[in-house]
């Protein structure tokens, strides 16, 4: 097993790539009661066109299959539902689908191995029939309609649709009622057999474990499967620039919601750029920023907006989301502040102070077994070792921040999405 150590955090991760191609990450936490396991596949909502290893022709499936599969995995041939089985054991279990991965997880203090039995059993034993697939379409259809009624979801999705011409990140993770109507058991088995191969998966366990012992327990529960070759993922060509700079939707809200999106280009320096953007966003609209205080004092915004940077190997964007009496004023004020900083440079003391605050946030994530495990899983699928954020933050200087501000925070790539009455 490879030992990866971070001396600043006094944290260790043991990494093992098994013969079947699956990666196991073990994060030992002595004297911790909680135990957490998350098993993920590098398969999310973006993957609807791909070439199966060993085949020549591309396979195209309806939008929403990854999420549909996640729902169906709990249903077992003996009539049980694995989520119910895990809940009856007294463990907290769940699953989720993102744009680039799907994950199955549980957290517990005892009955760990019984829960591990169930998790590793249901993820390796799909059971799809014409009847249970049809039934699920109704359930997911209701979920789609419910989300359509959420202003917070609409303002987010409208932002992505305004930024992206063709990339599937603009589409709802669940698909639409129309796209899921084309899903059948053959499609589900094809996607399962392609993407749920161990060589496309990673399992992360965090808690009071002896690495060698827990690794053997995981291996014992794996079905014999051989690693497959690389899955070729096919995405449509995405042109530069955004579709439109403004989108508005009328819904019942007490105060207008807004999301400012900034379309970016993925960087080779993923971690360094991510840190720089976090610092810049806090300088621009963080709680202690001049602009936030001004907008707050004028009664335009009443709380700090959420500040995010989402990225994978093939897309990247900034999202600033909040409530405002006048979202257009927030948008214009942000553009003016960006122009001012580009012209006058970044204040070194402020840059350093915010960097320390962000570093503190990174360290805090390691206090919780669930946050730690989920972070390592999500970063792994991005080709990142989570410790890199701790190691690289010192290298992020104001000069680099200014370079990122100039390249990324471009007016032409900014969109404003608003939901108001």
Could you list the active site residues? 70
Q: How many CB atoms are located within 10 Å of the residue 365 CB? A: 13
* 83 touches 184 (CB < 8 A): no
Q: Which among 386, 382, 376 is positioned nearest to 105, based on CA atoms?
A: 376
Distance between CA atoms of 93 and 419, rounded to whole angstroms? 34
Q: Give the 3-state secondary structure of 281-302.
A: HHHHHCCCCHHHHHHHHCCCCC
Which residues share a beta bridge with 259? 321, 417
Distances (CA, A) of 64 to 50, 175, 253, 404: 14, 4, 28, 34
Q: Which helix (H) or strand (E) holds 420?
A: strand 414-420
Which residues, at least 6 apart from 117, have a Cβ–Cβ distance to it below 8 Å?
221
DSSP 341: H
Locate 109 and state its tokens: 């203090």
Residues 386 and 57: their CA atoms lie apart, in Å, by 36
Decide: 189 and 65 in contact? Cβ < 8 Å.
no
- Single out the residue of 250, 374, 384 nearest to residue 311, CA to CA: 384
Give CA–CA dist 3/215, Å, rounded: 14
Distance CA 402, CA 375 (A): 28
- List the 49-51 sheet strands across, edge first: 59-60, 49-51, 232-233
Query: With the C-alpha atoms ordered 62, 65, 71, 75, is the resulting torsion angle positive or negative?
Result: positive
């Amino acid at each position: 097993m490879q030992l990866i150590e971070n001396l600043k955090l006094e944290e260790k991760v043991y990494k093992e790539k098994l013969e079947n191609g699956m990666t196991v990450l073990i994060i030992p936490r002595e004297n911790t009661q909680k135990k957490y396991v998350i098993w993920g596949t590098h398969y999310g909502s973006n993957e609807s066109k791909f070439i199966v290893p060993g085949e020549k022709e591309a396979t195209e499936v309806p939008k929403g299959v990854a999420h549909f599969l996640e729902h169906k995995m709990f249903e077992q041939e003996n009539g049980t539902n694995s989520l119910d089985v895990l809940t009856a054991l007294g463990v907290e279990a769940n699953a989720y689908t993102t744009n680039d991965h799907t994950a199955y997880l549980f957290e517990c203090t005892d009955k760990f191995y019984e829960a591990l039995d169930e998790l590793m059993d249901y993820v390796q034993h799909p059971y799809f029939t014409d009847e249970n697939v049809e039934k699920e379409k109704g359930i997911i259809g209701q979920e789609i309609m419910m989300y359509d009624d959420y202003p917070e979801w609409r303002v987010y999705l409208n932002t992505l649709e305004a930024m992206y011409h063709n990339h599937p990140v603009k589409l709802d993770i669940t698909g639409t009622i129309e796209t899921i109507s084309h899903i059948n058991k053959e499609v589900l088995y094809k996607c399962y057999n392609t993407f749920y191969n161990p060589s496309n998966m990673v399992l992360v366990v965090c808690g009071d474990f002896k690495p060698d012992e827990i690794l053997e327990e995981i291996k014992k529960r794996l079905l014999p499967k051989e690693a497959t070759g690389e899955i070729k993922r096919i995405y449509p060509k995405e042109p530069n620039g955004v579709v439109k700079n403004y989108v508005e939707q009328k819904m019942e809200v007490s105060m207008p919601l807004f999301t400012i999106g900034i379309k970016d280009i993925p960087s080779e320096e993923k971690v360094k750029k991510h840190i720089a953007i976090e610092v810049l966003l806090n300088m621009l609209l963080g709680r202690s920023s001049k602009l936030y205080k001004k907008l707050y004092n004028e009664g335009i915004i009443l709380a700090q907006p959420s500040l995010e940077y989402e990225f994978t190997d093939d897309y990247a964007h900034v999202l600033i989301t909040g409530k405002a009496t006048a979202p257009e004023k927030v948008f214009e004020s942000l553009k003016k502040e960006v122009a001012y900083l580009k012209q006058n440079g970044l204040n070194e003391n402020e840059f350093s102070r915010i960097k320390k605050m962000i570093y503190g946030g990174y360290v805090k994530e390691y206090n919780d077994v669930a946050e730690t495990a989920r972070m390592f899983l999500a970063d792994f699928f991005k080709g990142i070792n989570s410790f890199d954020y701790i190691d690289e933050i010192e290298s992020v200087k104001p000069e680099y921040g200014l370079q990122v501000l100039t390249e990324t925070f471009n007016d032409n790539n900014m969109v404003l999405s608003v939901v108001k009455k």
